[in-house]
Amino acid sequence: MEVANRTYRDVLRDRRLAGLLVGDLLANMGTGMIIVAMPVQTLSIHGGVPKAIAIGIVEAAPFVLSTVLALAIGLGRVRVPPRTLLVADCVLRALTFAVLGVLAVTERLTLPILVFGLLFGATFRMAGSSSRRLLATSMAGEHGRFAVNGLLGLNLTFALYIVGPVAGGLIVATTSAGVALFFDACGALILLVAVLVSVPRALTARAAGERQATAERQATGARQADEGRQAATGGQAAAEVQATGGGTTAGGRQATAERQAAAEGWATGGETTTGETQAAGAVTAQERASASRESGWRILRRRPVAARLLVVEFFFNFLYMPIEVALPLYVQAKLNAGASGLGLMWGALGVGAFIGAALVNQLRNLPQRHVLIAIIGLWAMCPIALAFVDDLALALIVFGLGGLVWAPFTPVAYSFLQSGLRPDEQQQVVTLWTTGATVAAPLGLALGGPLVEVAGSAGGLILSGGLTLLLLPIAAMAVLRREPGPAARLAGSSP
């Protein structure tokens, strides 16, 4: 009997998991506050550096070393337990922002100090972000993975788009931008406590032990299958003895292979014969023996669905970013509204995204392949429709609906990705995905400036939506195209 995915309420009954998710929420709120505070702080200390360049340098600094480390984990063979990475990220972030906060409120903070502080203080930023997801989903188990990814998306949306910027704006307005830096340090400390209390130190070791036991059982099953085939070729009598005396064992091996094939369904298209599952058992046992030494790049080459999904994830985020460049100009030129109108537009997107993230739970039993394709298509229509709207009230509705359909993309994509990866493949691939999605943002902004300059605000919106629509056939090929099973791949290499 198939077990349904667990709901938000089900996974939150686990106090340890709930504690980790609360720590994640509060840490994200601190990050949301500095979204407002950091540009203000930069403008107060930019000196002779042009304002736009100073803000660009400060915004880019946290990505440099964190990208290098994340790529070392995702593409190389650097292996650090996710719990250790997240603890290191929390400690370094708390110390960095506490020091920067002290220097800011005492008026001793300079632009070079701020840049170098963010450069080194965010070293574990991307690795820590992927570690949060890995730890939370591993604690929830296979059937709680979808709900946990949804809750992580809900945390991020609520903190970064609703509460964090509002709280950061109030703090900056009533005190100073330097004070907001302390709140980010406090958020990192809260997450540190949540990790130390909620995530057991033995979690990684226990998971590794379970993987080793599974690999040993599969290797034993593969050897027994080989012995059975050799006995079958010895003669009819031997075959009859095998059939009568070993029926239970053969049935157990077949059931084990079928369960494994089902678990890796997206890698094979979900259609695998009994012969293919026996071959899969032998191949997978061999793969798992060396999995801890594999790079994320090798895993992606072996898992083409994951590789194609990474491309879709990157360009989905990349093509969104020109909207952030076009929206202020669109609000001013076409809606005839000022800063308050821009704030309302972002608020509408945030409210829509929050509702969409909350509704992810309702999508848990739908076909995730088709949900992903539908999200891409519906979101692409949002900026195109927005370009033809010249009324603020209607624009708020369109942008809010865009947030509603956009928010589920990340949790659904990660859940679909993780469902086709073994536990020993999760860290490399998820870290690589997080890096790709994060790096897409500054690259998309770099493209967005010249694009909007040439096409105008409305034209930039249309191009963003139109190019996203071109992702639909790529996404359909990525998630709907079926891969040959292990036996077919082996047969293809034989005469």
Instruction: Give the per-residue pLDDT at 266.
Output: 53
pLDDT digits (tens, 9 = 90+) for 416-433: 888 778 887 787 888 887
Q: Of the ranges 79-88, 95-104, 349-358, 421-430, which one carries the lowest mean pLDDT score?
A: 421-430
Using an 8 Å Cβ cutoff, are 406 and 302 in contact?
Answer: no
- The pLDDT assigned to 91 comes to 96
Query: Above 60 in pLDDT, residue 46?
Result: yes
> In the chain, what's the furthest Cα-to-Cα distance?
92
In whole angstroms, give the CA distance from residue 60 to residue 54: 10
CA-to-CA distance for 129 and 441, rounded, in angstroms? 16
Mean of pLDDT over the chain:
77
Average pLDDT over residues 400-411: 90
Highest mean pLDDT among 109-118, 203-212, 481-490: 109-118
Burial 442-459 (b: 16+ CB within 10 A, else e): bebbebbeebbeebbbbe
Averaged pLDDT for residues 273-284: 40
482 vs 485, higher pLDDT: 482
pLDDT of residue 195 exceeding 90: yes
Is 181 in contact with 97 (CB distance < 8 Å)?
Answer: yes
Burial (CB < 10 A; 0-12, 13-18, 19+), residue 300, is buried
Q: Which residues in 175-291 belong to E strands, given as ranges?
A: none
pLDDT for res 457:
86
Q: What's the confidence (pLDDT) of residue 400?
A: 92
Q: Which residues contact 292 (CB under 8 A, 6 or more apart)?
A: 79, 424
pLDDT score, position 488: 39
DSSP string, 346-361: HHHHHHHHHHHHHGGG
pLDDT at 481 over 50: yes
The Cα 466–Cα 43 span in angstroms is 35
- Please name which of 144, 135, 100, 182 lies closest in space to residue 23, comparing C-alpha atoms: 135
Cα 468 to Cα 171, 372, 409, distances in angstroms: 37, 13, 13
Q: Which of 408, 399, 426, 321 is nearest to 372 (CA)?
A: 408
**pLDDT confidence bin for 157, thresholds 50/70/90:** confident
Q: Is 364 helix (H, G, I), strand (E, B) or coil?
A: coil
Q: Residues 167, 437, 83, 133: what is their CA dihedral angle, to the nearest 10 degrees?
A: 80
Joined tokens for residue 265: 């369904």
Mean pLDDT, range 112-119, rounded to an integer: 93
pLDDT at position 475 over 70:
yes
The rounded distance, in Å, linking the Cα atoms of 242 and 236 is 10
Distance between CA atoms of residues 404 and 408, nearest Å: 8
Residue labelled with tokens 């840490």:
27
Phi-psi category of 159—alpha, beta or left, where left has phi over 0 and alpha has psi -120 to 50?
alpha
User: What tens digit of pLDDT does each residue of 335-387 get?
Assistant: 888 767 877 888 888 889 889 888 888 887 788 888 889 999 999 999 999 99
